[in-house]
Amino acid sequence: MPSDTLWEIAKAEVEKRGSNGSESDGVEIGEKSVFFIGSKNGGKTTIILRCLDRDEPPKPTLALEYTYGRKAKGHNIPKDIAHFWELGGGTSLLDLISIPITSDTLRTFSIVLVLDLSKPNDLWPTMENLLQATKSHVNKVIMKLGKKNSKASSEMRQKIWSNMQKDHPDREIIDPFPIPLVIIGSKYDIFQDFDSEKRKVICKTLRFVAHYYGASLMFTSKSEALLLKIRGVINQLAFGIDKSKSICVDQNKPLFITAGLDSLSQIGSPPVPDNDIGKLHARSPMELWKKVYERLFPPKSSPGLEKERQRLKGEEGRGPGGI
């Protein structure tokens, strides 16, 4: 079948890139990978094209797309290379996540989750399914890497805490994503016209999820100023450019919060009356936020999405904790 052929070609390409790296760590110095996942038609391609300074109209991503960018470091110094992967189809092609993320590429990999703010009812299921599938696969790869290179695996697990200050009050509560994660809320131009209470719930919920996973969170739209800020963040992931330390937590403005700069005390409790909290019967803070969010924005779940969610939930029950 053609899909099998495409699958084999993609896997072979990833393996070839991995084998081109140095023998000691399996990756080439100056090479990083950024994997864009998220809402269908959420603007992932537009962000990638803007980051690469490509003035061309975005085309629909059908399955798994690959492109790359180069950045000069100095005279007579080889250019840094960034590999950009993009998963199309929203949550319909979760199996393809395993293609670019391998034990050879994992140590220089970052995830960018793009969520369509204009479709709040789809936001939690999209986020949950994509993050669970990615986290599940990454944890498997880390375990596999640990069998071959325990030092590299240990370094990765320590590195995920690097964005969080040692004296941060939330260190015992959060559960950082196993590789760097950036969450981008797209279509802010539509979102800003939402009712203020709806904006408050979406902003607080995304702040909690991003903070819990040790991720950066930012909103964007077609605005050139916002796209430039996003470009700076992606360049940091792709080429190691210095991180921005700016922060905006005002729900009446586009959020911009670098990983490690938020806190549960600033985010506050889930936006629900105190006398209703006890009725929600949540087993974890994440589940509590989910229940509060889905009260206002019930998901339009498809049978296929629900089936995949249950499968991933079963996997997470056998391994490390899920979303």
Q: Which helix (H) or strand (E) holds 191?
A: helix 188-191
Region 305-313: what's the mean pLDDT? 54
Region 259-278: what's the mean pLDDT? 83
Backbone angles phi, psi at 37, to 5 degrees: -130, 165
Q: Which residues pair with 70 in a beta bridge?
A: 81
pLDDT above 80 (res 27)? no
Enter the pTM of the model. Answer: 0.82
What is the percent of the chain where pLDDT is above 90? Answer: 40
> For the ranges 74-83, 164-173, 274-283, which has the lowest average pLDDT?
274-283
pLDDT band at 220 (very low <50, low <70, confident <90, very high): very high
Average pLDDT over the chain reads 82
pLDDT score recorded for residue 100: 92
Name which residue leads in pLDDT, 245 or 143: 143
Q: Report the C-alpha gap between 211 and 226 in whole angstroms.
A: 21
Find tokens 């498997």 and name the residue.
140
User: What are the angstrom distances between the C-alpha of 58 and each of 44, 50, 95, 188, 220?
Assistant: 9, 10, 24, 19, 17
Find tokens 């269908």 and name the residue.
40
DSSP 8-state secondary structure symbol assigned to residue 97: G
Nearest to 138 by CA among 109, 170, 117: 109
pLDDT score recorded for residue 9: 58
CB proximity list for 255: less than 8 A, separation 6 or greater: 185, 203, 206, 207, 217, 218, 219, 248, 249
pLDDT score recorded for residue 91: 84
- Rg from Cα positions in the chain: 19
The residue count of the chain comes to: 323
Q: What is the pLDDT of residues 180-216, one digit of tens each?
A: 999 999 999 999 999 999 999 999 999 999 999 999 9
Name which residue leads in pLDDT, 45 or 281: 45
Return the top range by mean pLDDT from 68-82, 124-138, 243-257.
124-138
